[in-house]
Structure 1
């Protein structure tokens, strides 16, 4: 059987390892899967055709996690974030297809890096953020999602708020699923969703299930302070990786 996207066996094996690692992080934290995998994929191949595969994988992982997160989702946040994202996603997909992802990734990485450094100082938002604020963050997220990093601004924003770890994780998972559901038809209209997308998802399925399951088990054993520290350090690492990619032009 020929591999999709003209991948060689070595490339496919490396992407499989990255996929498993990213799925583990998603199972633990609720975000980071697409940013980790796409950043790694860019080192060895053109990542743009892989973005629909990544989004499909994220939706599949939500099926694996649905039972454990059902009672912890903050639906008001989810709907407000999605409303903001939906407004800008058509422009976002057009921009990524027309202009490339480097400029988008550089801008988002700088924002997330700044937020991560502030969060490392121990700063948090002490007051409740209402729907308009979440819609604004959703718009930023929608602008970023066509490059596969729409979850990072939302994760940085929510990490700064007083939230229980289970609520943070569940809300991120459901929001990212909704975001991908909105984005996928736009990617299909842009010609990025093909039969190779379905083949890539089928090949990824076993690694996804194992990675998410192991990550979820690790989350159950984590304390709230450990989870927040992991989330902030993950945001910091992903922002630095995004900056490196954008500056190196990879």
Structure 2
């Protein structure tokens, strides 16, 4: 059986391990799956064809988690941010589809590094943010999501506000699902969604289920803030490695 995206066995195995780890992070913290997996993928292959697979995985993982998060979602935040994201996405997707593999690695890794540094600073908002503020964050998120990492600006924004861990996690999960559902048709129109996308999703399914289940169990027994810090440190490491590889390729 041939592997999708012309992957070799070694590359496919490395991506499978990264997928399991990223699903675990998503199951625990509610964000980080796309950024971790795509940052790692940028080290071993061209990440662009994998972005639709990642988005489909995000949607599928929400189905695994729906029962446990339903009562904790801040729907008003979700809707305001999705409205902003929908404005920015068509332009940002067209830009991402026009660049080469090394340029994509630089863009993806730089965005991840900047957003990770913001998350680490402990930055806090001093006043209440209304509909326009949430819509603006959604626009930034939409611009980043063409690279598959639209969750990081939202994670940075919501981490800076007083919010219960369960609400943070549930709101992130639902927002990312809606964001990916808006983005996938644009990627389809751009030719990135193929039969390889479907094959990759089928192959990823058991790893997603296992990772999300393990991460969810850990969320119930430990501090989410501690694990989010671990996830951000991992993102920073992968983004630096991705930048080094991309710059070396130029």
Q: Where do 5+ consecutive residues of structure 2 fail to align?
A: none
Name which of structure 1's ranges 93-102 and 197-206 shifts more when overlaid on structure 2: 93-102
- Judge conservation of contact 2:29–2:169 (CA < 8 Å) in 1: yes
Residue 90 (1) aligns with residue 87 (2): no
Distance 1:43 1:107 in 2: 14
- Judge conservation of contact 2:36–2:234 (CA < 8 Å) in 1: no
1:166-225 deviation line (CA, Å, top 9, x unaligned): 000000000000000000000000000001100000000001001000100100112xxx
1:132-184 deviation line (CA, Å, top 9, x unaligned): 11111111111100111110111011111100000000000000000000000
What do you get for the CA RMSD once the two structures are aligned? 1.7
Distance 2:202 2:116 in 1: 34
- For 1:228, the equivalent position in structure 2 comes to 225
- Judge conservation of contact 1:146–1:183 (CA < 8 Å) in 2: yes
- For 2:235, the equivalent position in structure 1 comes to 238
CA displacement at 1:106 relative to structure 2: 5.2
Task: Trace 1:1-250 onto structure 2 (pairs within 5 A).
Answer: 1-99=1-99, 100-102=103-105, 104-105=107-108, 107-119=110-122, 123-222=123-222, 226-249=223-246
**CA separation of 1:244/1:11 partners in 2, compared to 1, >3 Å: closer, same or farther?**
closer
**CA separation of 1:42/1:109 partners in 2, compared to 1, >3 Å: closer, same or farther?**
closer
CA displacement at 1:124 relative to structure 2: 2.5
Name which of structure 1's ranges 84-93 and 101-110 shifts more when overlaid on structure 2: 101-110
- Judge conservation of contact 1:159–1:228 (CA < 8 Å) in 2: no
Distance 1:47 1:64 in 2: 25
Aligned length: 244
Distance 1:243 1:14 in 2: 18
Structure 1's consecutive aligned runs of 4 or more residues displaced over 6 angstroms after TM superposition are none
**CA separation of 1:103/1:88 partners in 2, compared to 1, >3 Å: closer, same or farther?**
farther
CA displacement at 1:247 relative to structure 2: 4.6
- Judge conservation of contact 2:30–2:172 (CA < 8 Å) in 1: yes
- Judge conservation of contact 2:106–2:242 (CA < 8 Å) in 1: no
